[in-house]
Chains A and B, each alone.
Chain A
Amino acid sequence: MTDASLMPAAGATALAPRKPNRTWTKLKKNRSAMVGGVVVALFVLIALLAPLLPIPSPSATDWGKIRLAPSTEHWMGTDEIGRDILSRMIWGARASLMAGVISVMIAVMIGVPLGVLAGYFGGWTDQIIARATDALLAMPFLILAIALAAFLGPSLTNAMIAIGLSAVPIFIRLTRGQVLSVKTEDYVEGARAIGLGHLRIMSHYILPNVFPPILVQATLTIATAIIAEASLSFLGLGQQPPLPSWGSMLATARNFLSQAPWMALWPGAAIFMVVMGFNLLGDGLRDALDPKET
């Protein structure tokens, strides 16, 4: 390892892969995508390191230090019951990022297989799945998530499930459309000509070839899901107090906008930054994975 990094030139000539990863090269050249990637990576790092950072407990109250403005002692100030906002922001990042990533994973894991089935088999399978998707898509994403979260009961886990389920139709529709075009490719016919069955064709010939747009959509949907989690927490349907989340911090801060505006500023700015980061990254991925753009 050390040798290779010390002598990159020698290592490169000896071990250079014959196919340089074009997607990665293109992504690296895209400045806004890299900015997005760095922002996202930074937040992920902070969230992961939360237990190790020298910060006060996010739920430790101090009645002598209520709604203090940012200072050297409390970099981001304190909230209405004297908790350190920086600490709550860092721990809240865990809730927000987890909600974004896990709910999108739920949506992908349910939506993509259904989309593949609908697109590949067509006929009545497609009719059922596509009609159900249309029905779900007729409802606005956030309204559906709120309804589901309210139905499941308020907790972060349920909020993630609700957001995930609400995002399922997006992935069904995207995947189905991609599969419809890929399944007419000659190599799918070729796979049938060597005697492969439907399952093998779907998993090895269809899925890998519809994957890039799904990856892009997933990245962009993480941003949407983070906003959705903040919205649900804002409404009291997500992360439950005293555990911190950016959405619930915003909800509380609303009551003190004139006395302690910083209480709303930090979570608002954080949500903005992370969402922007994921969006830039997603847009960059889309360009990098598009074979037509050089």
Chain B
Amino acid sequence: MTSEDVIPTLELREVSIRFRSQPVDLIDRVSLSIRPGRTLALVGESGCGKSVTSLATMGLLPRKAATVTHGQVLFRGENLIDKTTTQMEALRGNRMAMIFQEPMTSLNPVFTIGDQVAEAVRRHRNCTKAEARARALEMFELVRMPAAAKRLDDYPHQLSGGMRQRVMIAMALANDPELLIADEPTTALDVTIQAQILELMRDLLKETGAAMLMITHDLGVVAEIADDVAVMYAGRVVESGPVDAIFNDPQHPYTLGLMGSMPALAGRVQGASRLMTIPGSVPVPEAMPPGCRFATRCPFVSSECDAARPSEREVVPGHRVACIKAPLETHFAQGAA
């Protein structure tokens, strides 16, 4: 494969973001890369910075409160950090689009859903109202909205959560974006609808060839839809790689905790028999550990962990881990000996 030659649809290079009045960078040198047609899942618990990363990519962070202090956000090779507000507005909803977590509140209650999808079309295309409406109908059919033509003139409150999320997807894809950012698109839906929406998104991505950044904390969703995974903890990417590598051979202690796949290894660590939950909680910005940010909760912590930020190491090509004890197996072999 010549995958290295292709310009990634989205590439974050060591992006740091600091919020005003906070002592440390909330997002600390995050690097990600999504190639055309691929789906990257950004995984982590609440407050780890997943959503901030996605909003920063879209240029939707409040400019007064948050600043990108380091790094580049490259969209098809163009640095988005340098773009003006107007340039970003021309990109948003056009070449890059976003789906939000809460379909129940993400649509304007006073306009029909047809008008709202048409609005996204008219914003970026030179077309008449009728053409925009036709495009909206086309999109409704694409997202398999039952009785699409009748639904055009419905108001958001007349639709179920799953239907509204279909509208959101229709709106996001209306201008054939190259990048789709989905911020927990299925979290607010019930399980059967989740499966339908995920299947729909997978099919649509295949049809349109768009790349997707999927934000989620649900590993089931990751397994379902992602090609690659990046695990975030307290504002840093701690582990990244192809989905199979992460699921079959998680290397970072935090990923292990997330997977709940500890028992086999845990038996060797001070007799702990179950580690299905990760003890403690995410450190607050005021009390960030100086070295590895997971050190306060890590079962394998040692004094070196606090010395410096652990550098990324590649355990196998494409699978990177930011832990000084990686690969874990070698360290355990030593520890057991």
A residues touching B (Cβ–Cβ < 8 Å)?
18-19, 123, 185-187, 189-197, 204-205, 208-209
Q: Which residues of B contact A194 (CB under 8 A)?
A: 92-93, 97, 119-120, 123, 171-172
Query: Bound state CA distance, A172 and B119, in angstroms?
Result: 29
Q: Which residues of A contact B105 (CB under 8 A)?
A: 185-187
Offer 7 A-B interface pairs, CB within 8 angstroms, sorted by A.
A186-B106, A187-B108, A189-B60, A193-B93, A194-B120, A195-B92, A197-B89
Check B108–A209 contact: CB distance below 8 A.
yes
Question: Which 3 residue pairs spanning A and B have beta carbons closest together?
Answer: A194-B93, A195-B93, A195-B92
Give the interface size bracket for B toward A.
20 to 34
Q: Which residues of A contact B100 (CB under 8 A)?
A: 186, 189-190, 193
Interface SS of A by simple majority? helix
Within 8 A of A (CB), among B88-141: 88-94, 97-98, 100, 102, 105-111, 119-120, 123-124
Q: Which residues of A contact B124 (CB under 8 A)?
A: 195
Q: Does B155 contact A (CB under 8 A)?
A: yes
List the A residue with the shortest CB-CB distance to B112. Answer: A19
Check A193–B98 contact: CB distance below 8 A.
yes
Check A209–B109 contact: CB distance below 8 A.
yes
Q: Which residues of B contact A208 (CB under 8 A)?
A: 108, 110-111
Q: Which residues of B contact A205 (CB under 8 A)?
A: 108
The one of A192, A195, A209 that contacts B90, using a Cβ cutoff of 8 Å: A195
- The answer to whether A191 and B108 touch (CB under 8 A), given A196-B89, A197-B89, is yes
Q: Which residues of B contact A187 (CB under 8 A)?
A: 105-109
The one of A19, A123, A189 that contacts B64, using a Cβ cutoff of 8 Å: A123
- The answer to whether A209 and B110 touch (CB under 8 A), given A187-B105, A193-B58, is yes
Q: Which residues of A contact B93 (CB under 8 A)?
A: 193-196
Check B94–A195 contact: CB distance below 8 A.
yes
Q: Does B158 contact A (CB under 8 A)?
A: yes
The one of B110, B123, B158, B168 that contacts A195, using a Cβ cutoff of 8 Å: B123
Q: Which residues of A contact B107 (CB under 8 A)?
A: 187, 190
A228 → B minimal CB distance (Å): 32
The one of B92, B108, B109, B153 that contacts A204, using a Cβ cutoff of 8 Å: B108
Check B123–A192 contact: CB distance below 8 A.
no
B92 → A minimal CB distance (Å): 4
Q: Which residues of B contact A123 (CB under 8 A)?
A: 64
Query: Bound state CA distance, A97 and B123, in angstroms?
Result: 43
List the B residue with the shortest CB-CB distance to A208. Answer: B110
Check A195–B111 contact: CB distance below 8 A.
no
